Amino acid sequence: MKQQTRTNWPFLRSESLTIKRAEGVHLYTADGRAILDAAGGAIVSNIGHGRARVAKRVAEVTADCTYVVPPWTTPSRQALVEALEANWLPEGLRRIHITSGGSEAVEAAVKMALQYHAARGEPERRQIISRSVSYHGTTLATTSLSGHPARKRGLDHALSTYITVPTPYPLRCPLGTHHADAGGFYIENLRSTILSEGPENIAALLAEPITGSSGGALVPPDDYWAAAREICDEFGLLLILDEVMTGFGRTGKTFAYRHWDIEPDILISGKGLAGGYAPLGGVFASEAVGSTLQDAGMNVMFHTFGAHPAACAAGAEVLNIMAEEQLVEQAARKGERLKLLLHEAFDQHPHVAEVRGQGLLLAIEVVRDRATLEPYAERDAISNRIVGKALGKGVFFYGGGTGDVRDIVCMGPAFVIEEAHLTTMVEVLLEAVNEVTT
Ligand SMILES: Cc1ncc(COP(=O)(O)O)c(C=O)c1O
């Protein structure tokens, strides 16, 4: 029988790398090279690759309890809920809905917000506010809600329209770079948008507390989130925080919103929940949201594979390992160290506008001119070329940006990364940036 040719994968034909094995922070290619995984895949791997303990648990659960409908309880579903309640979820966010990934979770969260208002007799609250630089997923609704032109190509004409407010982008704040009033500027914009659209038409604000790879680890001004939370309360909007990329320790706190004194009404997670050992996402809603839907007899529909027993087993085991090894604290500490090394390497670099991020979600923004912040042309594909160069030198970084926002190189290694790896990451990144920009 003729062997399947490699060109049938992926869908868009391209030369793709074959990885045969992965362990710790390293990937091993079919031709015998080791690659330092400085991005944990798509900012997913948090406990590192190849932990036999997780694989063993997944195998046991697969043998014991292969598949049952999502609303029923199984030992691994119970274990996941217990792990979430023990170390991760605050008292106020314990209505738990488990999905197979981030897009499904965002979609479910938005539906919950619409149902919540409908149940309370305000069905005209149909609009969602999302932000200009963002990524929320790949379904039609989540693509529509994303501030990501590159991922809307060929779809723009058919997508639903939602309301957009600017994502806080301190480097490029219209008032000036890292302007003292930047927080106020973005908040004023949010308030005036709500007023002009009519608060009675808006169900929720959907946002990433620290913007992930679309903006390149954009941390908002410190006064932004408390004020945004207040505005949501003032106008009756639910606050939905998308922590698919930032959740479960990535930014050095359990969730990124905990860098500020706020709590969302609905929290969304994915990637780090099972650290790459299984496809898993989660929506965690407040009691008010949960009981309102329940009392109104509304359904929160599962996908067939939602809360899959093997995936829940992986999630529970990953979360237990994170707690046992204090990996959130490690992410905070190692993130500080990596940031320092990046500052030393790039603070005077003529083509790097800034180093930014929090914990082990960090990024650099590459520009043609550091003084004016003029970007390279999109066709120059600078960040892709930097990522390609670095990969050739044995380190995998994650290219970010949205097409409009460029040229971003993201870092998000597993929290078990060691000092020598951090040094290698920065050395290789500097070489790659130099080779591409000079
Ligand atoms: C912030 C954010 N939301 C949602 C998603 C979509 O998640 P998934 O790719 O698991 O569907 C992503 C994926 O990168 C993300 O970073």
The pLDDT tens digits for 10-62 are: 888 887 899 999 999 999 999 999 999 999 999 999 999 999 999 999 999 99
Q: Which atom of ligand 1 is nearest to the CA of 213?
A: 16
Look at the domain 54-324 and name its fold: Aspartate Aminotransferase; domain 2 (3.40.640)
Which neighbouring-strand residues pair with 281?
Answer: 99
Ligand 1, residues 43, 98, 100, 103: which to mutate, most atoms within 8 A of Cβ?
103
Q: In whole angstroms, how far apart are CA 116 and each of 253, 262, 263?
A: 29, 21, 18
Ligand 1, residues 134, 244, 266: which to mutate, most atoms within 8 A of Cβ?
244
Q: How far is the CA of 152 from the centre of ligand 1 (A)?
A: 15
Q: How far is the CA of 148 from the centre of ligand 1 (A)?
A: 12
DSSP per-residue letters across 141-167: HHHHH---GGGGTTTGGGS---EEEPP
* pLDDT tens sequence across 261-282: 999 999 999 999 999 999 999 9
Q: How far is the CA of 241 from the centre of ligand 1 (A)?
A: 12
Dihedral sign (CA 117, 122, 124, 125): negative
Q: How far is the CA of 287 from the centre of ligand 1 (A)?
A: 25
CB 311 within 8 A of CB 125: no
Specify the pLDDT at position 5: 52
Between CA 375 and CA 385 the distance in angstroms is: 15
pLDDT above 60 for 3: no
pLDDT above 50 for 1: no
Q: In whole angstroms, how far apart are CA 434 and each of 414, 423, 437?
A: 26, 17, 5
- The number of helix segments (H) and strand segments (E) in the chain equals 12, 15
Looking up tokens 């050095």, which residue turns up? 252
Q: How far is the CA of 270 from the centre of ligand 1 (A)?
A: 7
Q: Which residue has the higher pLDDT, 160 or 1?
A: 160
- 63-86: b (≥16 Cβ within 10 Å) or e: eebeeeebeeebebbebbbebbee
Q: Is residue 31 reached through a cis peptide bond, with omega within 30 degrees of 0 on the bond before it?
A: no
How far does the chain reach from its first CA to its final CA, in angstroms? 50
Q: Give the pair of three-digit tokens for residue 333.
A: 């500490």
* pLDDT tens sequence across 198-247: 999 999 999 999 999 999 999 999 999 999 999 999 999 999 999 999 99
In this structure, the dihedral spanned by the alpha carbons of residues 125, 126, 131 and 135, taken in order and rounded to 10 degrees, is: 140
Ligand 1, residues 245, 246, 305: which to mutate, most atoms within 8 A of Cβ?
245
As a whole-number percent, the residues of the chain with pLDDT over 70 amount to 98
Reference 400, options 35, 37, 48, 135; nearest CA is 135
Between CA 146 and CA 65 the distance in angstroms is: 37
Based on its alpha-carbon atoms, the radius of gyration of the chain, rounded to whole angstroms, reads 21
Q: How far is the CA of 72 from the centre of ligand 1 (A)?
A: 26
Mean pLDDT over each residue of the chain, to the nearest integer = 97
Pocket lined around ligand 1, Cβ cut-off 6 Å: 42, 101-103, 106, 135-138, 208, 212, 242, 244-245, 270
Specify the pLDDT at position 9: 82
Q: Which atom of ligand 1 is nearest to the CA of 208?
A: 1
152 pLDDT band, cuts 50/70/90, is very high
Specify the pLDDT at position 283: 98
Instruction: Indicate the residue type of 195.
Output: L
Q: How far is the CA of 347 from the centre of ligand 1 (A)?
A: 30
Q: Which atom of ligand 1 is nearest to the CA of 104?
A: 11
What's the length of the chain?
A: 438
Q: How far is the CA of 162 from the centre of ligand 1 (A)?
A: 18
Q: Whose CA is nearest to atom 7 of ligand 1?
A: 102
80 pLDDT band, cuts 50/70/90, is very high
Q: In whole angstroms, how far apart are CA 160 and each of 18, 74, 143, 189?
A: 37, 38, 9, 22
Q: How far is the CA of 136 from the centre of ligand 1 (A)?
A: 5
Q: Which residue has the higher pLDDT, 352 or 16?
A: 352
Q: Give the pair of three-digit tokens for residue 186.
A: 């973005």
Q: Which atom of ligand 1 is nearest to the CA of 134?
A: 1
CATH class of 327-437: alpha beta
Q: Which atom of ligand 1 is nearest to the CA of 270?
A: 10
Domain boundaries, the chain: 54-324, 327-437
